[in-house]
Chains A and B, each alone.
Chain A
Amino acid sequence: MIEKTLKGKPAYWIWLAFLGTFVAIGAACYVRQYIYGLALTGMSRDVSWGIYISQFTFLVGVAAGGLMLVLPYYIHDYKAFGKLTILGEFLAISAIAMCLMFIMADLGQPLRGLNMILHPTPNSMLFWDMVVLLGYLTLNVLCGWVILTAERKGVHPPKWIYIFVYISIPFAVSIHTVTAMLYCGLPGRHFWLSAIIAPRFLASAFAAGPALIVVACLIMKRVAHFDAGKEALAKLSTIIMYAAIINTFFVILEFFVGYYSNVPGHIHSLQYLFFGLEHHGHVYNNLVPFMWGSVFLNFAGLGLLAYMKFNEWTDGMLGAACVMIFFALWIDKGLGFVLGGFVPNMLDQVVEYYPTANEVGITLGIWAAGFFLVTVLYKIAVGVEHEIE
Chain B
Amino acid sequence: MDNQRRKFLKIAGISALAGIGAPALAKLTSTSAFAAAQEGHTAAAGAAHGATEQSGIQLGMVIDMRKFIEKPEMLDRAIAACARVHNVPEFPPEKKKSEIKWIWKTPFENAFTDQSQARLSTAVEHAQFPVLCNHCAEPACVKVCPTKATFKQKDNGIVAMDYHRCIGCRFCMAGCPYGARSFNWEDPRPYVKTYNPDFPTRMRGVVEKCNFCGERLALGLKPACVEACEGSGAMVFGDINDEKSEVRQVLAKEFTIQRNASAGTKPSVFYIV
Contacts and interface: CB of A to CB of B under 8 A. Distances in A.
Interface of A: 36-39, 41-46, 48-49, 103, 106-110, 112-113, 115-116, 118-119, 121, 123-127, 130, 182-183, 185-189, 341-342, 345-349
Interface string B134-155: 0000001001111111000000
B169 interface: yes
B97 A44 contact: yes
A258 B236 CA distance: 40
A127 B143 CA distance: 11
Interface size class of B (residues with CB under 8 A): 35 or more
Contact of A346 (B109, B149, B170, B176): B176
Contacts of B148: 119, 121
Contacts of A108: 166-170, 183-184, 204-207
Contacts of A124: 143-146, 171
A119 B144 contact: no
B131 A107 contact: no
A54 to B, nearest CB: 12
B101 A45 contact: yes
B98 A39 contact: yes
B173 interface: yes
A41 B170 CA distance: 14
A106 B174 CA distance: 14
A255 B251 CA distance: 41
Given A38-B185, A116-B167, A187-B175, 4 more contacts: A39-B97, A108-B168, A109-B206, A116-B146
A116 B178 contact: no
Contacts of B170: 48-49, 106, 108
Given A37-B184, A108-B168, A346-B179, A187 B204 contact: no
Given A37-B204, A39-B98, A108-B166, A126 B146 contact: yes
Given A37-B187, A38-B183, A123-B143, A188 B167 contact: no
Interface string B177-195: 1110111111100000000
B181 A121 contact: no
A182 B173 CA distance: 12
A15 to B, nearest CB: 34
A183 to B, nearest CB: 8
Interface stretch (B213-221, B225-233, B239-247, B258-266): B258-266
A187 B263 contact: yes
Contact of A347 (B113, B140, B168): B113
Contacts of A45: 99-101, 173, 179, 181-183
B106 interface: yes
B110 A347 contact: yes
B126 interface: no
What are the 10 A-B residue pairs with the smallest beta carbon separation, nearest first? A108-B168, A188-B177, A108-B205, A346-B179, A39-B186, A39-B185, A187-B263, A126-B146, A347-B110, A124-B146
B96 to A, nearest CB: 8
A121 B145 contact: yes
Interface string B66-102: 0000000000000000000000000000011111110
A216 to B, nearest CB: 32
Contacts of B183: 38, 45, 48, 108
10 contacts: A45-B101, A45-B173, A45-B183, A48-B170, A49-B170, A103-B169, A109-B168, A127-B146, A188-B176, A345-B179
Contact of A126 (B169, B185, B205): B169
Contacts of A41: 185
Nearest to B98: A39
B10 interface: no
